Amino acid sequence: MSRRWENELFVRLEAAGHVVSYRRTSAAAPSTRAFDAVLAIESWRFGPSLATRVAPLPAIDRGPPDLIIDLTGSATRQATPILQLEFCGQGTFLAGINTMLASGQLPELAARLDGVVVARARPMLGDRFWLSRTSNNLLAGAISLIMQSVARFFGGKLQPIADSAQPPLKNGGFVRHAGPYFCKGLVNRAVEKLRQRRRPFYWQVAYRLIDGPGIAETGRIDGSPFTVLPDDGERFYADPFVFERDGRHYLFVEEFPYATGRGVISVAELHADGKFGVPRLVLEEGHHLSYPQVFAHDGEVFMIPESGSAREVVLYRAVRFPDRWVRDTVLIPDSDFNDATLLESDGRFWLLGTERYGYGSASDTLAVYGAPSLRGPWIGHALNPIAVDHSAARPGGAIIRRGATQVLPVQDGSRAYGGGLGLMSLEQLDDNDVRFSSPRPICPGSAWARAGIHTLNRAGRVEVIDSAG
């Protein structure tokens, strides 16, 4: 038998234009009875996962390969380059799962080309209690890591990177390590529900007026204190973007009424007393909207909100700013693309965000699209996915320009979604490559007492942030 992720990988490789052969080995595999039993039980609630056993694909031979992808960890060196995966330092997914459960550490995947590490992935674990969801996060990351490595291999961009130490494999199988791990997850979940009390989840937006350096410059949430944008308890506000027009400041936010369970876009205006009014609804669709990036271009004002649940990225145009918006152009159809962040550079347009391919987290796989004009056509970068990293993938605000340097706020989901924010300097963005520096974490400070920061934006003197409640 095969596992679903192996077949999904085959489909993804073919969809990307590669000619793929498929062959199964006869190597004996260790017993996975307990692991498969847990997946079978959870399937009653979640359906099959990427780790679920399925019938293998039929053997396909399409001639001598340029690259061998070994998913067994047992291939021996030969003339054709071999790409292999490591899960938490182990050669197979199940051994890697055992290591992760035993060590309690966040998982790390590595791709080795002929034994040399050439790429690394750190998938985000959105749910650490259910085995099927954990497996989906890890295996979706594994598929994306292979896709990234294959794209860079054939683009001549695959280079050795530093190896990293992994926790040793402890004695005992899945049953021994899974029990304590998932009991801990159950306790954490119960504590979180008690902390949230009456609200299923809760975010807050905050703002301040400052002169001189802000968070993007200092890397700390210090200085003058932030003022919370109040809510009535029946909704929360998140994803703040501030836009300055004709000397007036407008705060665009995701408004999430608990009664509907669907985000809309609202706006508040800064009053003369330095406070924002109550946000009012300006854009609503039949699906969830968030992350309302508003910007000016060629004398008009546009917005690109997140609409990943509708599988499209849409450009909206203000026909009466700030209250009335119309759909202008579908920029990226049929894509679960999240927090699309626009950058115009050297006469070309780019969208940076995270892209989910049916499984796994929406926050750990960075993809880039480019276009010759704002309305397109938008084409995925040849090296997509650019990165798989819970701390360096999902944007958390508009691009920040500091002289010749361009900085992307990026969410840190290593602890939890909304757990922190970092700043990555853009080192290269063109048709040949996309490279960022490692994220510089934003440190907590006295200006905002809440844990974590999720979004950072600024226009003129107005600086805005949000965080999980």
Condensed to tens digits (0 to 9), the pLDDT of residues 292-307 reads 999 999 999 999 999 9
pLDDT, residue 397, reads: 98
Six token digits for residue 202: 């809760």
d(CA 155, CA 344): 25
Between 95 and 278, where is the model more confident? 278
pLDDT, residue 24, reads: 83
CB 236 within 8 A of CB 262: no
Q: What is the pLDDT of residues 445-466, one digit of tens each?
A: 999 988 779 999 999 999 999 9
Nearest to 51 by CA among 62, 61, 64, 40: 40
Point out the least confidently predicted range of 73-87, 234-248, 314-328, 345-359: 73-87
Alpha helices in 203-335 (DSSP H): 215-218
- For 4-13, what is the mean pLDDT? 95
d(CA 313, CA 457): 21
Q: CA dihedral in degrees (20, 386, 411, 98; nearest 10)? A: 40
pLDDT, residue 102, reads: 84
Report the percent of the chain where pLDDT is more than 70.
Answer: 91
CB 256 within 8 A of CB 235: yes
- Residue appearing with tokens 């990226």: 332
Q: What is the pLDDT of residues 97-125, one digit of tens each?
A: 888 888 878 899 999 999 999 999 999 98
Report the alpha-carbon angle 139-143-148, nearest 5.
140
Report the alpha-carbon angle 1-56-153, nearest 5.
115
Q: Which amino acid is at 168?
A: P
Asked if pLDDT for residue 169 goes beyond 60, the answer is no
Q: What is the pLDDT of residues 340-369, one digit of tens each?
A: 999 999 889 999 999 999 899 999 999 999
CB 353 within 8 A of CB 333: no
Can you say how many angstroms the Cα of residue 79 is from the centroid of all Cα atoms in its chain?
37
Look over the chain and give the mean of its residue pLDDT values, rounded to a whole number. Answer: 91
Alpha-carbon distances of 281 from 104, 189, 255, 324, rounded to whole Å: 44, 33, 8, 10
Alpha helices in 104-249 (DSSP H): 131-154, 174-196, 215-218
Between 185 and 211, where is the model more confident? 211
Six token digits for residue 409: 């706020």
- For 326-343, what is the mean pLDDT? 98
DSSP assignments along 340-398, one per residue: EEEEEETTEEEEEEEEE-SSS-SSSEEEEEEESSTT---EE-TT-S-EEBTTSSSB-SS
Six token digits for residue 431: 């048709």
Nearest to 413 by CA among 197, 141, 154: 141
d(CA 460, CA 466): 18
Point out the least confidently predicted range of 52-61, 103-112, 160-169, 405-414: 160-169
Q: Which domains does the chain have, with CATH numbers?
A: 2-194 (3.40.50), 199-468 (2.115.10.20)
Report pTM.
Answer: 0.93
Predicted confidence band of residue 138 (pLDDT cuts 50, 70, 90) = very high
Asked if pLDDT for residue 168 goes beyond 70, the answer is no
Q: How, if at all, do strands 365-371 and 248-257 pair?
A: unpaired
Predicted confidence band of residue 31 (pLDDT cuts 50, 70, 90) = confident
